Structure 1
């Protein structure tokens, strides 16, 4: 049996520096502090976390776990991939097509002006939309010139400093306001709260969902068909977001590794899951709300067909098709993630 002892010990020895209780030292919790005021504050709830935890699955079976793998913790931008899965479910129901202009099916929610009307679902999923506007009180400019760990592009200016927008599809930028606009669009498309859809259509068939929560900002409520619903963010940048266990993240990773199928049921269309893994033409390190390891760009020691869900605070879900493995690690110091990946890769052989 494969021995992951060294990798697990390494992870446990290198916990992220954030406090476990966000109230204990608020200045060291989260990523919102880097935003220009008045947007450098939490707008939704956060809660205390556990320590480093994770699970490893090989050929569909859990072979290792550590920490508190059943504890539901905030997972930051891993939630972006959940939005991609929901979009895939919508596509399977005939509700969207990737190259469709969003304003054509959802007029009146922020895609109607001359710039935004050219934006397609694919643009939003690959983060090349250049969507301009204010979503639930947050202007897209807050995220202009944002730097994230695996983006090789040099800084173009200060965080939050306005830059000239490019035509949709021609510029890649990691922008949480635009992700929230995608989430809002999917809410209108389904006409149901996204957490309900995700729990029923994804987690429940996988045997998961215990203590799963996906909440929005305190003031992120909209009226759809006469019903008051909360729009949820694709992360925890300004609080709120997804709380989920490491085991459930492993289940979702397994679903992706298995091409969207589980137990004889195609939960997400297989061709959609395959398309999620295709590199963006202008950002080959990125697919549809997932990170790609093409050419070893993310982790030199991981197979080059590996792909990842990644969230701030040290959250990684690694899908390794070559070894038929899913690796989840949470609250790992991101600077130490290459060392962890290398140790797991060696153990997998």
Structure 2
């Protein structure tokens, strides 16, 4: 009898090992029944139904909440709020749930290519990670200006001490103007003059979500690579993980510069002023799975373990944030129902790539009301047997 139990245990371990080895090939993705991967089907369906019912919508039907060409300029209305990059209407709520690498559930059109908003920041930091791993950015704690000086603003006395790590964590306090948008114009509050008059905080002391500073980081990183960041992402990340050919990373109409004699379109790290990453839920799931597998894909290292460890290290002024845009579940504050080692890539809309390393689960949820994301995760976790 003992040998029977030993054989059964060995089979379970072997099955788990094979599951962890599965990576979807380009153009296809194996689907398993929820119960085959340890989900309660009824409870999982309840989580999906909740996500669909919680789609971000306006109380009034007068304006289509899915038409981002209308929504974004209104949402971020204020000084310098005019869009510079493309905006488009997005698909209805959709999502995909992965366990052990396999699809266990999908809803809506998961091939719809829509704005990912600030999940774009995750792609931006990923390109920085590739630069780090390849020795182009060997020490993130060095000053940015010791490597590149893209504009005169980088040489302002306030900006000179800023490190790559601080830019990655959104604690740089960088001041200046990027593509016609001054640093104080992003989420300036009720009285923008107060922020302008007060000036920036000392470098590294305050966490501030600010797309102007993110765009300054994108420009500096492009100077490191000396080529368009979407090309870098495609070569070192998206093609190796089998992403589709439908994603595209859009710049602004005026975000062009010359580096090494080449005219390069600089891409933003979000959709605040339009542009950014346009991508499907299925391709987002591949990024989530690569991260969940520790930066590996089919035996090929995409990102180093060291980089992912740094990305998941809490930021001093905001322990719930690592590198852009790794939102951490520190002290289980973001997702109380998940363990502290869970994390998510989050963008406006909301666009969410939730990763639960403990259970080998990746969930992409698009266009869910921000206030409902923790409840969705609770229902998802409750469905795991």
Q: Same fold (TM over 0.5)?
A: yes
- Normalised by the size of structure 1, how large is the TM-score? 0.92
2:129 is matched with: 88
The secondary structure found in structure 1 opposite 2:277 is strand
Q: Structure 2: how far apart are the matches of 1:123 and 1:21? A: 34
Offset, 1:338: 2.1
The secondary structure found in structure 2 opposite 1:64 is strand
For these two proteins, the number of residue pairs brought into alignment is 334
Offset, 1:73: 0.7
1:152 is matched with: none
Q: Structure 2: how far apart are the matches of 1:57 and 1:186? A: 32
Q: Structure 2: how far apart are the matches of 1:189 and 1:216? A: 18
2:335 is matched with: 299
Q: Are 1:11 and 2:34 matched, yes or no?
A: no
Check whether the contact 2:150–2:219 (CA below 8 A) recurs between aligned residues.
no
1:154 is matched with: none
Query: Structure 2 vs 1, CA of residues 116 and 144 (structure 1 numbering), >3 Å: closer, same or farther?
Result: farther
1:311 is matched with: 347
Q: Structure 2: how far apart are the matches of 1:269 and 1:323? A: 22
Q: Structure 1: how far apart are the matches of 2:75 and 2:184? A: 16
Q: Structure 1: how far apart are the matches of 2:268 and 2:361? A: 29
Q: Structure 1: how far apart are the matches of 2:332 and 2:74? A: 30
- Give unpaired runs (5+ residues) of structure 1: 147-156
Q: Structure 2: how far apart are the matches of 1:31 and 1:182? A: 23
Q: Structure 2: how far apart are the matches of 1:194 and 1:32? A: 29
Q: Structure 1: how far apart are the matches of 2:273 and 2:165? A: 25
Structure with greater helix percent: 2
Query: Structure 2 vs 1, CA of residues 336 and 263 (structure 1 numbering), >3 Å: closer, same or farther?
Result: same
The secondary structure found in structure 1 opposite 2:353 is strand
Q: Are 1:337 and 2:373 matched, yes or no?
A: yes
Which of 1 and 2 has greater Rg? 2
Q: Structure 2: how far apart are the matches of 1:115 and 1:74? A: 34
In angstroms, what is the RMSD of aligned CA positions? 1.6
Offset, 1:211: 0.9
1:142 is matched with: 185
Q: Are 1:218 and 2:239 matched, yes or no?
A: no
1:129 is matched with: 172
Q: Structure 2: how far apart are the matches of 1:197 and 1:164? A: 35
- Give unpaired runs (5+ residues) of structure 2: 1-34, 58-63
1:101 is matched with: 143
Offset, 1:296: 1.5
Offset, 1:159: 5.5
